[in-house]
Structures are given as C-alpha cells and as structure tokens.
Amino acid sequence: MALRTFATRKTLGELCKFQQQVRGLQTFTLPDLSYDYGALEPAISGEIMQLHHQKHHQTYITNYNKAIEQLDDAITKGDASTAVKLQSAIKFNGGGHVNHSIFWKNLAPAREGGGEPPHGSLGSAINQSFSSLEKLIAKMNAEGAALQGSGWVWLAVDKELKRLVVETTANQDPLVTKGPSLVPLVGIDVWEHAYYLQYKNVRPDYLKNIWKVINWKYASQVYEKECP
Amino acid sequence: MSWSCSSNYLCLSSSSSSSLIDSHELTRINNRCKLSCEYKELRRKDHDTTRPINICAYNGLKPPSHELGKWQRKKDYVLKKPNNISAYYSLKPPPYKFDALEPYMSKRTIEVHWGKHHRGYVESLNKFLEQDDLLYGCTMNELISVTYNNGNPLPEFNVAAQVWNHDFFWESMQPGGGNLPILGLLQQIEKDFGSFTNFREEFIESALTLFGSGWVWLVLKRNEKRLAIVQTTNAITPLVWDDIPLLSLDMWEHAYYLDYKNNKAQYANVFMDHLVSWNAALARMARAQAFVNLGEPKIPVA
C-alpha cells in the first residue's frame, strides 16, 4: 500500500508540472556555481557563499515562481488589479534572481582567473572612460560604500551609446530600471547579507577585497558581444 | 490638500478635500514647512560663515525677540564661534547590559550593532554638524524635519534619522520583554486592530513583506487619532509625517544577521514574544495623549 501512495504522489507532482508546461509557464531553479563555496576565500568566506546561494538566492527563486504563477492565473482570469499588485513582488524577487545569477558568473576563484585585470577591448575601453582600472575600482567602491541601505553597484555598457557607465540600483532593482539599453558587465551585491558575517559593518573592506575574485573574462565576453 | 513653499511666504491651497484641519494643525504644518524653507533660503544666500550667527534667524518656532524677556534675549547672543564652546551628540547606551537580551539578541549583535553601526552614525552626524553652522543649532526633531526636506532627503538625513531610530529601538526592547501590553495600550490595540493576535500577525506580516532595508513601527497617527502599523525604508521615520511612534523593529539585515542569518520570520517572532518592551510603549502612549485626544476616559459610574 505504501508503494501505491508513493506512486500516486509522484504522478501527482508530474501532473502539476505537466499542466504548467502545457500552460507555457516556465519556472526557475537555482543555478549551480562553477566553483566550490570555499573557493573564493579569503575575499568572501565559504559560509557567506553557502548562505547567499542556498538560502537567499533560493528564496528569491521560490518567491518569484510563486509570483509568476499567481500572475499567470490573474492574467488568464483577466484580473487586472491582482496582476498589477503582483508587480512589486515580481520586480523584487525576479530582480533578485536575475541579479544573483549574474553575480555568481561575475566571481571566480583566483586560480581560475579571478582578479586578473581585463585585457582586450574591455581593458582599453576602461582605460579610455576611466583613465585606469584603479580609478574605476575606486569609483565603484566609493559609490558602493555610499549607497544607503541595500542595493547593487554595477559596471555596465550602454549598448546604444557604446559607452561604459557605473551605476547603482536600490534593493533588487535590475539594472534596466536605470536605463533600458544598459547591459551589466560586473555587479557587486552590497546588501548586508553579502558581507556581514565576515566584514560586519565595514563595507569598504568588502569592496576592496572582492576585486581579487572578480571574473573579468566573463565581463569581457559580454562586452565583446555588445560592442564587437 | 497641497501647499507650495516659496522663500518668504506659505501658500496653502486646499482642493476639494473633506477633512477639516483646525488652526492648531495648520500652524504645525506651517512651522514644519517653514523650517526647511528658511533653511534652504539661508543656504542659498551667500552665507558669510565668519559672521556670528543669530540662532533665532532660522528657528521659526521661537517668538520675535521683542516679545522675549531680557534674560532670553541675552541668551540668544551667546554664540558658538566667539566663545568656542560647542556641544555635539553622544552615543547613548541601551538601558540594559549587552548580554541582558540573550538568547534572543546576542551580546555580539548588540556590541556590533550599537558599538559600530550606531556609533558610526553618531560620529558622522557630529562631523556634519561641525561643518554646517545652520544645522548645528537644531534640536534632533528639527534636524530630522529640515534634512528630510519634504521628501527629498539631504545627505545628513540618513545619519540624523538613524541616530534617532536606533536610540528609539534600544528603548523599545527590554530584558524579559514580550507578553501582552497592559492597561490603556491593550485597550487601544483591541479597539484599532480587533484583537492583540490580529495586531501581532499584522506586525510580523509587515516585517516580512518589507523589501530591502527598513523599519516597522507601531505609531499613533495624529490626524486619524488611532494606532497603525507603518513600514518605512532605509532611515525614514514616522516623525517626518508628524506621527508619534510607540515601538520600532529594525529590519535592516545588520540587526538580525549574526543571530538568525536569513530567517527573518524567526527574528520577528522572537521580537514579539521575548524582546518588545510594552512598558516603554505604554509610557510613550501616555505622553502622546498629551498631544492627541484619544477620547474621553471611561470612568466607571458608582
């Protein structure tokens, strides 16, 4: 009898997913990191990486999936007020998922090229716009430290104007809220959960050290795609 | 209703709104807006910092000097620069030992939260005040109103408001806290929320649905003469809307991360069950009733 209940439970779950796929709603799952949690030490501790990935990012994904299911229902039923009411939850949780997915790719352990300065077209673009990589880092650190509350600091390329910009966003707002043609190259999470266990309230130290594990190879790839 | 602020006069234009605002209320709104307008006006003029400052010039709440007594007028001329006496804000410790809130809020959290974050805000505020003669003479409440700038906060707002917010927060907790509110506060909560359980649920719900950093407050709304739960982001405090806060809960991550990591629900529940100081809230409400008429007291008939 136990076997039977097990079988029905499994097929029920599959039925749910099947229905969702028939509806065309794609839900999201937590992307894996391409490095161990402890690989970014001592810049970011393994404990922070694990919590950040398995708890925070997962929560954003779970809540985002819930919100888009509710949105899908509301749209099918033609319930405009519910659809609009869900927008802030979608922006927050969806933005959290999008931003953190980019963040994991922005980081790499030192032995896999983390912290190595960019060469090629991105390197020269940085020297052109900010006169040197050090100046860019100083600028981003200053903006990150001055950000009140929670948010992100970004190095982005404006794909219309073909220009590099440094921007900050509040909470989990994705970068496009600051400009529809902005494409993120490097994003740094300055929410307190990203550094508190290790750096406590000294956000500037976190910002200084994170550059040692920034994956400029990925940033260069994105840049070359937008500005060939 | 809306009002526009220009340099020397206040123009109040009311649209078709049904709420009646009495003249006392009007004076308060006038004064609040006038303060930040006068501050902006003084900032705009070419301000000669070597000239001694008459503190009366930007404190719109004081009566004109010919109406003050001789002693008070003389006091106005005791200025900061010539005497070189100045006073700044100090970091006030919480009204309990650091380990008094264990195991609900660890000693480590209070050491870092008070000793580093709160201290940092006080030091930044003092640095701002050192450089800004106009802000120096303001009381804390005036500082918060002026720097809030009617919705467009100046950089000093964050530090000033956070200093106040944290002072308020430490006093909103006590060792052996939690349980139920008593006397008039319980009655008012039951009147405005239905029951204490409803209030508790709403408060925790508010704490969990806050996006980003911010605070959750139990306030007494002046205009509506009732209690309400208010969520604010970053450093904003209900003082800027002239409401009277009774309790606050710090939902910035630094307040709970060391103890509860990302488990906000547990933190909020523990606060309600074991940390919140209903005594402090009752005292604050008693004081608030001097300003807000919550109705006639029910005197039992013999």
pLDDT per residue as tens digits for the range A2-25:
445 444 444 444 554 555 555 578
Best mutation target, B251, B262, B264, B266, to test chain A (most A CBs within 10 A): B262
The closest of B179, B181, B173, B159 to B235, measured between CA atoms, is B159
CB contact under 8 A, B254 and A201: yes
Torsion angle defined by CA atoms of residues B268, B266, B117 and A196, in that order, rounded to the nearest 10 degrees: -150
Distance from CA of A43 to the nearest CA of B (A): 19
Distance from CA of A56 to the nearest CA of B (A): 7
In angstroms, rounded to a whole number, what is the distance separating the alpha carbons of residues B165 and B213?
13
Q: Is B139 helix (H, G, I), strand (E, B) or coil?
A: coil
In angstroms, rounded to a whole number, what is the distance separating the alpha carbons of residues B174 and B276?
6
Per-residue 3-state assignment (H helix, E strand, C coil) for B228-284: EEEEEECCCCHHHHCCEEEEEEECCHHHCHHHHCCCHHHHHHHHHHHHECHHHHHHH
Mean pLDDT (whole number) for A81-110:
94
Distance from CA of A109 to the nearest CA of B (A): 25
CB contact under 8 A, B212 and A150: yes
**Residues of B contacting chain A (CB within 8 angstroms):** 112, 116-117, 120, 158, 211-214, 233-235, 252-254, 257-258, 261-262
Contact list in B for residue A196 (CB cut-off 8 A) is: 253-254, 257-258
Mean pLDDT (whole number) for A21-47:
87
Given a cut of 60, is residue A132 above it in pLDDT?
yes
Mean pLDDT (whole number) for B224-242:
93
Predicted-assembly ipTM surpassing the 0.90 threshold: no
The answer, as to whether pTM is greater than 0.80, is no
Best mutation target, A86, A148, A172, to test chain B (most B CBs within 10 A): A148
For residue range B125-178, what is the model confidence (pLDDT) as tens digits? 999 888 887 888 888 988 898 899 888 888 889 999 999 999 999 999 999 988
Best mutation target, B166, B211, B258, to test chain A (most A CBs within 10 A): B211
Contact list in B for residue A59 (CB cut-off 8 A) is: 262
In angstroms, rounded to a whole number, what is the distance separating the alpha carbons of residues B157 and B160?
5
Contact list in B for residue A143 (CB cut-off 8 A) is: none
Q: Give the pLDDT of residue B5.
A: 35
In sequence order, which residues have a C-beta less than 8 Å from that of residue A100 and are 6 or more positions away? A52, A56, A57, A60, A189
> What average pLDDT does the structure give for chain B?
79
Contact list in B for residue A200 (CB cut-off 8 A) is: 112, 116, 254
Distance of CA A131 to the CA centre of its chain: 27
- The partner residue sitting opposite A149, judged by closest CB among B120, B213, B262, is B213
For residue range A169-201, what is the model confidence (pLDDT) as tens digits? 999 999 999 999 999 999 999 999 999 999 998
Contact list in B for residue A148 (CB cut-off 8 A) is: 158, 234-235
Contact list in B for residue A151 (CB cut-off 8 A) is: 212
Distance from CA of A102 to the nearest CA of B (A): 19
Chain B contact for A171 (CB, 8 A cutoff): yes
